[in-house]
Amino acid sequence: MPTSAVPLLRIERGEVEEGIQRGHLAAVDARGTLVASQGDPSRLTYFRSCAKPFQAIAALRTGVVERFGLTAEHVAIMCASHSGEPRHVTVVRDLLAHAEIDESSLQCGAHWPYDEAAAKVVRHGMTEPLAVFNNCSGKHSGMLAAARLLEAPLASYLELVHPVQQRIRKVVEEFTGCAADDVMYGIDGCSAPNAAVPLSAMARSFAQLVTSDDRAAGTAVEAMTTHPFLIGGTKRFDTALMEVTDGRLLA
């Protein structure tokens, strides 16, 4: 099948090329202007977990921090794809407690912690994993907190027509610069709606995220770069990148 993807990584074993990873790249400047690309920078691409800061911004704009007394750690876990280590689980549960939401309301599904040491410990005491171990549980907790504040139904917080998801849609459109009709939606692995936009627009959204004077965006960025362990965890690249750059890079 023809593809516009280009070789980005060649894998060699000895002197033999064993594999090629193909893909697309888009780089923009601080103004969001495309300055470099490989493959097709206009290729429609799902945000997947890269959407989390923007999903968190939608929750922050409802006033959840002020209403429920949330901390920067709570905001960081809302932006995280965490490894399910004890600290991650503690912060997720504390966020839910602040909003007076039972963890049974989480609809992200359950899996064992990604961190092998954490998974080994909890497997000794239970036969089934918990939703709070899910790498997306912080994001879902933020959505639930926003739903609670808006007095919207908790049971349907993942439906695209729900007030929380509608606010997320507006944030995605704002930061990507895409018109509503140009943003497509599918369902992510954690059951939440997930936006697909041109790759260059996704890059633009992150340029806007780190340069915007928007209060909620600044809160999310500061939380992520101040608490990098909560974003990923032990031996995670995103955590390490923010740690070694002292927060100068966001991942």
Residue by residue, DSSP assigns the chain as -----EEEEEEEETTEEEEEEEE-EEEE-TT--EEEEES-TT-EEE-GGGGHHHHHHHHHHTTHHHHHT--HHHHHHHT------HHHHHHHHHHHHHTT--GGG--S-----SSHHHHHHHHTT-SS--GGGSTTHHHHHHHHHHHHHTT--STTTTSTTSHHHHHHHHHHHHHH---GGG-EEEE-TTSSEEEEEEHHHHHHHHHHHHH---HHHHHHHHHHHH-HHHHS-TT-HHHHHHHHTTTSS--
Domain boundaries, the chain: 1-41, 45-244
Per-residue pLDDT, 1: 57
Q: List, run by run, the mean pLDDT of 10-residue segments along the chain (251 residues).
A: 86 97 97 97 98 99 99 99 99 99 99 98 96 99 99 99 99 98 98 99 98 98 99 98 97 96
pLDDT at 194: 99
- What pLDDT sits at residue 2? 63
Cβ neighbourhood burial of 156 (10 Å; 0-12, 13-18, 19+): middle
As a whole number of angstroms, the distance between CA 99 and CA 77 comes to 14
| Residue 3 pLDDT | 78
Question: Contact, 139 vs 148, CB < 8 A?
Answer: no
Residues with Cβ within 8 Å of residue 217, at least 6 apart in sequence? 53, 57, 175, 208, 209
- Beta-carbon contacts of 50 under 8 Å, excluding residues fewer than 6 positions away, are 202, 206
Which residue from 206, 211, 207, 229 is spatially nearest to 72, judged by alpha carbons?
229
Query: Strands 34-38, 25-28: parallel, antiparallel or unpaired by DSSP?
Result: antiparallel
Residues contacting residue 192 through CB under 8 Å, at least 6 positions apart: 55, 108, 136, 139, 140, 143, 158
63: left (phi over 0), alpha (psi -120 to 50) or beta: left
Tell me the C-alpha distance between 122 and 187, whole Å: 29
